[in-house]
Amino acid sequence: MSSPGVLIVQNPIIPHLETELWKYYTLFRLWNVPSEKRTEFLLSHAQEIQAIVTNPVIGVSDEIIDALPQLEIISLCGVGLDKMNLTKCKEKRIRVTNTPDALTDDVADLAIALAIAVLRKICISDSFVRHGHYQNNRFLELSHRFSGKSVGIVGLGRIGKAVAKRAEAFGCHVSYFARSEKEDVGYKFYSSVVDLAAHSQVLVVACALTEETRHIVNRQVINALGPQGVLVNVGRGGHVDEAELVEALRDGRLGGAGLDVFEREPHPSDELLSMDNVVLQPHIGCCTRETLNDMAELVLANLEAHFLGNPLHSPVI
């Protein structure tokens, strides 16, 4: 009997994951196929492909799902379901898994790193030394303290809670916005993002991207955060109205921003690239070797469980 067919949607996938997948499955690499030949490729392997491995930033299109009648499971290497049509998957009885928890610490670490990098001008200071200004006794504008700041978190899920825990260790005052107040935390809850921003010096976005949370950080929120405020986004680019953000940073209505994600990836707004009150990352919140390996293990474990008929380790549906 031939091994189940697994379609890999995007490149690059974690090398270790691909090596392991080859041992147990027949792999089909969609990313290797020129876009004009993809429909034909899917059609010719439609009866063989039973699983898809992809990341949440790419997800899986409706066209791919519709082209694969034998599809049983989609295993996301990451979290965030904004590129997945879960309704369609449910209708077609396709299981979906992701890799929560495995990446939480890395993304929370990066959120804190971005806040500190912006406030302490880490990148500017680095450049100052590299350009010989330190050696020439030139003056570097003073930075701001992170410890003790009030940190507002939009979305107190796994990552949000991990950011809160870290911020607490820095003596920060933590408050949050979510759809409902949490019973299990002692942080102050705000039922409006504008109110949260008005009471925060650092605002960290860590919620899921949905139609409700698209542009949850808008002009009003940015103005409430204010000229001394710092925005950190480790959620999704769509959470922030990037045009408003650029305008506010340019006009001095917002103090600074640390961004791991952008509205049109991989293309941050050009103006951000020349601003020295922002620190930019190429959407690498969870991209450490350790976490990518853990995520790969969970993808493999979910596929194995599915094909053995065992309960899934981290089911979404």
**Does residue 240 contact residue 205 with C-beta atoms inside 8 Å?**
yes
Q: Which of 95, 166, 236, 239 is catalytic?
A: 236
Q: Does 258 bind ligand NAP (CB under 6 A)?
A: no
Place of tokens 């500017």: 124
Q: Is 236 a catalytic residue?
A: yes
Is 50 or 104 the residue whose CB approaches ligand NAP more closely? Answer: 104
What distances in angstroms separate CA 259 from CA 34, 90, 93, 274, 278, one per listed residue?
32, 33, 37, 14, 8
C-beta atoms surrounding 183 within 10 Å: 5
Are 77 and 291 in contact by the 8 Å Cβ rule? The answer is no
d(C-alpha 196, C-alpha 176), whole Å: 7
Cβ(261)–Cβ(233) under 8 Å? Answer: yes
**Which residues, at least 6 apart from 308, have a Cβ–Cβ distance to it below 8 Å?**
none
Should residue 315 be labelled a site residue for ligand NAP when binding is judged by CB under 6 A?
no
Please say if 283 is a catalytic residue: yes
SS3 category, 205: strand
Q: Is 216 exposed, middle or buried (0-12, 13-18, 19+ CB in 10 A)?
A: buried
- Choose, by CB under 6 A, the member of 79, 119, 232, 248 that binds ligand NAP: 79
The amino acid present at 239, given as its one-letter code, is H
Here the tokens at position 152 are 């507002």
In whole angstroms, the minimum distance from the beta carbon of 20 to ligand NAP comes to 22
CB of 106 to ligand NAP, least distance (A): 8
One residue of 225, 249, 286, 299 binding ligand NAP per CB under 6 A: 286
| Dist. CA 68–CA 48, nearest whole Å | 9
Catalytic residue among 40, 63, 265, 304: 265
Q: Using CB under 6 A, which residues numbered 94 to 153 contact ligand NAP? A: 100, 103-104, 107
Residue 44's CB is within 10 A of a number of other CB atoms, namely 11
User: Which of 90, 145, 179, 264 forms a contact with ligand NAP (CB under 6 A)?
Assistant: 179
Closest residue to ligand NAP in the complex (CB): 157
Q: Does 268 bind ligand NAP (CB under 6 A)?
A: no
Nearer to ligand NAP, 8 or 162 (CB): 162
Residue selected from 55, 75, 97, 213 as contacting ligand NAP according to rule CB under 6 A? 213
Q: Under the criterion CB under 6 A, does residue 210 sit at the interface with ligand NAP?
A: yes
209 is a contact residue toward ligand NAP (CB under 6 A): yes
Number of residues that bind ligand NAP (CB under 6 A): 32
What are the catalytic residues?
A: 236, 265, 283
Residues found near ligand NAP in the complex (CB under 6 A) = 78-80, 100, 103-104, 107, 155-160, 177-180, 206-210, 212-213, 234-236, 260-261, 283, 285-286
